[in-house]
Amino acid sequence: MVHAGRIPGLVVMRFLKLEKSGILRWLLQFEGLKERLLADDLFLVKVAMECGVGIFTKTAVKYERRRENFFNKIDFRNLPHVRVDSYLSRGGGGFWLNS
């Protein structure tokens, strides 16, 4: 397919670059994610920015509600998994990656 010109050379080069990283190689096994990673080289940056904004806004709301008790109620937990939620939608819709 590459020789027939159906896959642009830039996409092939991006795929080979992603294959060098163990984590990115693991992510490439998921079809939808592979398409996004190959189509947009800034996709992971955009996801990280969205997560950062979500964490910041959620923390700001919690601080606004608790004010003087905010630092007294901080709770750190060591969990055996990563949890990603949609904080802005009431329906939730998250996924968990167990380690």
- Helix axes 31-39 and 9-19, enclosed angle (nearest 10): 120
Q: For every one of its 99 residues, what pLDDT tens digit does the chain have, with 9 covering 90 and above?
A: 556 667 788 888 888 999 998 888 998 898 888 889 888 889 999 999 998 898 899 888 888 888 887 777 766 666 565 555 444 344 444 444 443
Number of Cβ within a 10 Å radius of residue 15:
14
Model pLDDT, residue 12: 86
**93 Cβ contact partners less than 8 Å away, ≥ 6 residues apart:** 85, 86
Is 45 within 8 Å of 52 (Cβ atoms)?
Answer: no
Question: Residue 59: CA atoms inside 13 Å, Cβ hemisphere, count?
Answer: 9
Q: What is the pLDDT of residues 73-89, one digit of tens each?
A: 766 666 565 555 444 34
Quote the DSSP letter at residue 72: T
Is 83 within 8 Å of 53 (Cβ atoms)?
Answer: no
Q: Which residues pair with 98 in a beta bridge?
A: 81
